[in-house]
Chains A and B, each alone.
Chain A
Amino acid sequence: METQIDKLEQNKKSKEKKTQPEKEELKGTFAAVLIVGGIILVGWLGVFGLFLERA
């Protein structure tokens, strides 16, 4: 006979399988992060250039 504890453990195991971080595809996220970083960097360089030009 299955006890309630066994059922709970089975549930736990199936949940763990669903969120395995190794299997997540992060290529798109990585590209998006680099694009945002690039925009920040270009913006900073632009403002710094303006500062130097006006000094």
Chain B
Amino acid sequence: MHLHRYEKIWLMLGAGGLALFIVLLCVNAFAMGMAPPSNMEMIDPEKVMETPPFDKPGLKQVGDKEYDAYMTAFAFGFSPTKMEVPAGSTINFHVTSPDVVHGFQIPETNINFMVLPGHISSATHTFDKPGEYLILCNEYCGAGHQVMATTIIVK
């Protein structure tokens, strides 16, 4: 098959770009440990309210300025409703749903994942700047979807 010289160049650029992105993806996944927020943790969605630690949602200090936040996203709100941490804190979010699919997004950060019933979604963020951070549901979940939000106060 005959190929024009220019065709060869742009095919090489395209294939090279594809190879570069695959390499970057592998570096991100294996060297930097970046994983999707839906890890392999499972939970019975009908028993979320009785299963620890989701029976008492809240913050647990696990280290110097490091917290585990066990949260539930339900129609139509988040639990706990209020959280406070000092500036510079790292929070590991662990979120599950007892009913339908919800969203979990904190604008201005990279936290943005789906909350699926039966799964525990996890993500980590370090809050360096003091202020009030909004947590909102960005996955349409029913008639009260628009009021589904809560805040984290960073002092």
Contact = CB atoms under 8 A, between A and B. Distances in A.
Interface of A: 21-22, 24, 26-27, 29-30, 33-34, 37, 41, 51, 54-55
A26 B7 CA distance: 8
Interface of B: 2, 4, 6-7, 9-10, 13-14, 17, 108-110
A21 B1 CA distance: 11
A37 B6 contact: no
Contacts of B2: 21-22
A54 B4 contact: no
B24 to A, nearest CB: 9
Nearest to A44: B21
Nearest to B111: A54
Nearest to A51: B110
A33 B4 CA distance: 14
Contacts of A54: 108-110
Contacts of A29: 6
Nearest to B112: A54
5 contacts: A26-B7, A29-B6, A30-B6, A33-B10, A54-B108
Contacts of A37: 10, 13-14, 17
Nearest to B5: A26
Contact of A55 (B13, B17, B110): B110
A26 B4 contact: yes
A27 B6 CA distance: 8
Contacts of B17: 37, 41
A27 B17 CA distance: 21
Contacts of B7: 26
